[in-house]
Structure 1
Amino acid sequence: MARFKYSGRDKRGKRQGTINSSSRREALLKLKEEGIRINDITEIPESILTKDITFGNPVKLEHFVIYLRQFSTLLKAGVTVVDATAILAEQTESKALKKALIVIEQDLREGNPLSESVRKQKKIFSPIFVSMIKAGEAGGNMDETLERLAVHFEKQHHTRQKIISSLTYPLVIGIIAIAVVIFLLVSIVPTFVKMFADMGGELPAITQFVLNASSFMQKFWWLLALIMILFSVVIVYMRKSKETKFYLDYAALRLPIFGKMLQKAVLARMTRTLSSLFSSSVPILQAMTIVEDVVENEVIARVIRDSRDSLEKGLSMTLPMKRHWAFPPLVTQMISIGEESGALDSMLDKIADFYEKEVDIGTDRLKSLIEPIMIVVLACLIGGIVTSIMVPMFDMFNQFDKKY
């Protein structure tokens, strides 16, 4: 929602002030209804204090899917695109989507096509959405296109949530383990330092190591915190550059256990997106360009780029894929069959279904495998610290018994 500064006249004389509106045209209409004749109206630039700060897409995927389902239903019921947009702007729970739809409605009423209106809202609507809407306008099957988009984003959301849920458990356990170890080293272990010093003699190696670690943590905890912050900043910065992001994505795909699952998730996303675009009659070269941008993995994106170049030369899109380790024979063979039979969208859909099921099964197995491993790791860490304290105490008790 933009803010405008205006000056004009009404029955009482000169008027000036500010008004909130989705567009300059809407602001003029509102002021006209209030009986104000406008001399000048200008948009007030957003400041840091008033601007909405968002990271990534500000609209939750579940809200976006609901919007697509409702939009498709309204169009099937005979409601016009303009009226459907106005209705959905009132009904949506997402503030960001509501603001975007209000602007889109005004744009539509000025005679612009929906594809051009949504293209202007880049933070909300992805390139695949814009391209499929444009194809739906050309084919006159907008309701079917919206339904296909809803299915696409639902499956994408499901796969992403499965990956996140499988990684959340080890992450949470790891954070808990680190927190417990830090607490023991900083709060518990120091209480035994004086006791061990009074005992004299040589301490066991494990006890000396824990005492040194405790001393280091107390003196240089800020250094560890600084290293973790710097590491996080470096990773975020590296992912902004395609060159360094390539090496990070490569390393992620080569990880033991997790790498295979991530590879299947990326392939499912790639084939699902291509299938959706082909089903909506988006030109194949344009579809490959869109997928290269939305696949979110630079290793796979480079292969897609090579495949697009291969198509431009009149060759098969699978040639670069067959030479790359990230594409299993199942993918390249089924795409080749799809190219030869003219049913590429159907074959890609089957590949996506297969890998989405593989991700589901893989994440379930991973959870059952990681749970006991993380428990053992946590027990070893805490048990090691406790053991390092108990061993010299037992020696002290044994010496006490021998004396008395």
Structure 2
Amino acid sequence: MPKYIYKAVTASGKAANGVLESPSLQQAAEQLRGQGLWLTSLNDQADSLLTRELEFSFGGQKVNLEHFTVFCRQLATMYKSGVSLVDAMRLLSEHAPTKPFRQVLGSMAEKMKDGAQFSEAAAEYPRIFGPIFVNMVKAGEAGGNLDGMLERLAVFYEKEHNTRQKVKSAMVYPMIMGVVMVLVVTFMMIFVIPRFVASFASMNVELPLPTRMVIAVSEFLQRYGLVVLPCLFLPKGMSLLIRRSEAGRERLDAWKLRIPVFGTLWHKQALARFSRTFSSLFAAAIPLLETLTLVSQVVANEAIGSVIRKLREDIMKGESMSEPLRRSRLFPPMVVEMMAVGEQTGSLDSMLDKVADFYEADVDAMADRLKSLLEPLMILIIAGVVGIIVLAVMTPTFKMMQEMN
């Protein structure tokens, strides 16, 4: 009997993984869901060529978000125009941007042609079609509103993609300029400064303190540069080590939110993702406790995810949604009050849609401001660092020229 390797999340939000024997991939998925697990990955232990290609191509994001967003929009448009799901999936499989995605869509079209529902076919590929997609499609099928649900999914992924791209664009420029600055300074310290040091030594000139400091750094990099280079990757390694435990991930993500400027941007992005996901699932009539479990997984911040899991426990004890969030510092008063009004008026999904619109627009505006401010700031920083090095080297040179005159 085939064995399947799975990764999942329990109802309490804890990670679970293992190996399961089952006659088929679909039965394995159904068996795990019957145990109350939300699948994040399910693969044949034999690890066929197709599975390896999918894992390499799609990685931890299930599928390239841009490609998946385009797929959702095209599917929603075609289905709303009267094209059957089977025909739509066949057409989309022919024009999918990657070979693995084409194979998956084609396989799903064949399964649906043989009588499987769209949600059942999608559930067999959990690395591509996550729990949010599958549950919303299943709700649309059950309620006879699949066209509306596909439209909502298209909007959901479009908003998520746009917000993520804005945050990335704000981060890319300072990262590139930082790398350029490190390369320029390293080149000057290793290849340029030693030429001046030889000149200073031959003339027995007393060097000022800034010049001696620059020379000391240069000599250190020449001797221990190969040791310093791996240390540049030490923060990333420490981060991966800390994130191996749930408590470590929570502390690290809480610290990230306190970083000046960028922490605020990440916080607003997480709140936008929380509001948009919660609204979409709630509008799809997904049970509240399941909605909170899913939201805690996709919010992409363990500190905020922990608050959502605690909220789930408080609701099971009979509390309202707004009161536990009011006690948390991670949810601003506006979000809490909007949720409270939504609870009282029965319009929680529309209220959260408004909150998501607000934070998505705020993230866009903040990302644009950061880009416009960081560009001249990073140029000034690089110019300042290089200028200090040049000045430290040229000062004794000018002094020697004056003494010669």
- Aligned-partner Cα distance in 2 for 1:211–1:198: 15
- Aligned counterpart in structure 2 of residue 344 of structure 1, from 345, 348, 352: 348
Report % sequence identity: 43
Please give the secondary structure, in 2, of the residue aligned with 1:51: helix
Note closer, same or farther for the CA distance 1:73–1:360 as it changes in structure 2 (3 Å cut): closer
1:325 maps onto 2:329 in alignment: yes
Comparing 256-265 with 328-337, which one deviates more in the overlay? Answer: 256-265
- Aligned-partner Cα distance in 2 for 1:226–1:180: 18
Partner of residue 394, structure 2: 390
- Aligned-partner Cα distance in 1 for 2:299–2:45: 37
Please give the secondary structure, in 1, of the residue aligned with 2:321: coil
After TM superposition, the structure 1 = structure 2 runs for residues 2-401 of structure 1, keeping only pairs within 5 Å, are: 45-46=46-47, 51-52=52-53, 53-54=56-57, 55-57=59-61, 59-401=63-405
CA contact (8 A) 1:59 1:94 kept: no
Which residue identity lines up with residue 193 of structure 1 in the other structure?
A: V
Residues 197-237 of structure 1, C-alpha deviation per residue, up to 9 Å, x if partnerless?
11214311111111111111111111111112343233234
Q: Give the C-alpha shift of residue 241 in structure 1.
A: 3.1
Note closer, same or farther for the CA distance 1:70–1:297 as it changes in structure 2 (3 Å cut): same
Specify every segment of 5 or more residues in structure 1 that has no aligned partner in the other structure, as ranges.
1-22, 25-42
Residues 294-325 of structure 1, C-alpha deviation per residue, up to 9 Å, x if partnerless?
11100110111111112212211122211111
- Aligned-partner Cα distance in 1 for 2:105–2:309: 33
Which structure has the larger Rg? 1
Which residue identity lines up with residue 102 of structure 1 in the other structure?
A: G
Which residue identity lines up with residue 96 of structure 1 in the other structure?
A: P
Q: Give the C-alpha shift of residue 84 in structure 1.
A: 2.4
CA RMSD in angstroms, aligned pairs only = 2.2
Note closer, same or farther for the CA distance 1:232–1:325 as it changes in structure 2 (3 Å cut): same
Which residue identity lines up with residue 51 of structure 1 in the other structure?
A: R
- Aligned-partner Cα distance in 1 for 2:277–2:257: 20
Q: Give the C-alpha shift of residue 45 in structure 1.
A: 4.3
Note closer, same or farther for the CA distance 1:268–1:187 as it changes in structure 2 (3 Å cut): same
- Aligned-partner Cα distance in 2 for 1:236–1:120: 30
Q: TM-score, normalised by structure 2?
A: 0.84
- Aligned-partner Cα distance in 2 for 1:199–1:266: 61
Which residue identity lines up with residue 397 of structure 2 in the other structure?
A: M
Comparing 241-250 with 211-220, which one deviates more in the overlay? Answer: 241-250
- Aligned-partner Cα distance in 2 for 1:64–1:397: 66
Residues 348-403 of structure 1, C-alpha deviation per residue, up to 9 Å, x if partnerless?
000001111111111122222222321221111100110111011011111111xx
Q: Give the C-alpha shift of residue 111 in structure 1.
A: 3.0
CA contact (8 A) 2:268 2:359 kept: yes
Residues 103-154 of structure 1, C-alpha deviation per residue, up to 9 Å, x if partnerless?
2223324433221221221111121111101111111111111111010110
- Aligned-partner Cα distance in 1 for 2:233–2:376: 30
Residue correspondences, number: 361
CA contact (8 A) 2:205 2:396 kept: no
Q: Give the C-alpha shift of residue 46 in structure 1.
A: 4.5
Comparing 126-135 with 370-379, which one deviates more in the overlay? Answer: 370-379
- Aligned-partner Cα distance in 2 for 1:252–1:258: 8
Note closer, same or farther for the CA distance 1:49–1:394 as it changes in structure 2 (3 Å cut): farther
Partner of residue 3, structure 1: none
CA contact (8 A) 2:79 2:147 kept: yes
Note closer, same or farther for the CA distance 1:237–1:116 as it changes in structure 2 (3 Å cut): farther
Note closer, same or farther for the CA distance 1:119–1:225 as it changes in structure 2 (3 Å cut): same
